Structure 1
């Protein structure tokens, strides 16, 4: 097989256009339920005004769930300070830590950088982006608007199909 047999295959040809999004204000508990119910492992994150603000994955939830009480307390303290503009007392904070997954938000665990490729990007560029950034999915854009997602498995599937028919 040569690279020429892959020529012409673009991101728009292999992307999934039925993109589900998470809201930055959702609790981590709600996000986990969303991932389970929709059987997905990541989603772009949008703000209340529908502006794209980041990406969140199951790995981010796992990382949050493995935090110790002190780390969760710091996350909740920051949430309280950001939303209320004041400090929380330690007694309330300790009680709040016990239900952190129902109090902390997606905004606190998301990655603010969203890595994208244009719809017209060739498969080679898509794969280079996945490998270069050590990521499992890349979001596809057209005119700076997310139109789909390509997972590493989608790229492998496209390559596999081309190999089968080469």
Structure 2
């Protein structure tokens, strides 16, 4: 039996405008207990995806050590100090979702077999993929949805005496 995308997708998607601040996005994701959300433009079109990982990476990049091994320890310290100063200055002007989002949106049709979705998610290192019908997004499949499917199938097999 082939399971299709529409059978396991979450149909309600919580999108955020690209003009929101990074802090507002962080609160939204936390309040809704989700790790990522599609990003929309002024016309409501999805233009990317923003995740907790994007927020973390943005904040972390300001404090990470320089990777250029040709720098002396003093130069490395100065480069870090400059990045921190820039990051602090940026804090005075709110960072918007458009500044940290991933502008690539991958999607598959509702009729796509879940096995194919898993292959795409593994190959592209994705935790979520949008589901479409006639080019319009109708839902989302996340790694949680995949795990739930596996767990449900395992339970069904055990109850049926197959496992």
TM exceeds 0.5?
yes
Residue aligning to 1:70: 83
Distance in 2 separating the partners of 1:72 and 1:123: 47
Aligned with 1:124 (options 115, 138, 148): 115
Residue aligning to 1:37: 31
CA deviation after TM superposition for structure 1 residue 49, in Å: 0.7
Question: Relative to 1, partners in 2 of residues 1:98 and 1:107: Cα closer, same or farther, differing over 3 Å?
Answer: closer
Residue 153, structure 1, aligned to residue 144, structure 2: yes
List structure 1 segments (4+ residues) > 4 angstroms apart after TM superposition.
none
Residue aligning to 1:15: 9
Does the residue aligned with 2:50 lie in a helix, a strand or coil? strand
Alignment size in residue pairs: 138
Residue aligning to 2:154: 163
Structure 1: which 5+ residue stretches go unaligned? Answer: 1-6, 75-93
Where do 1:46-57 residues align within 5 Å? 46-57=40-51
Structure 2: which 5+ residue stretches go unaligned? Answer: 63-81, 158-163
Residue aligning to 1:91: none
- 1:6-30 CA-to-partner distances (Å, cap 9, x unmatched) read x331110101011100111111011
- 1:97-148 CA-to-partner distances (Å, cap 9, x unmatched) read 2435xx1110010001111111111111111111111111111111111111
Tell me the TM-score normalized by structure 1: 0.76
Residue aligning to 2:92: 99
Does the residue aligned with 2:131 lie in a helix, a strand or coil? strand
Distance in 2 separating the partners of 1:139 and 1:98: 32
Pick the structure with greater CA Rg.
2
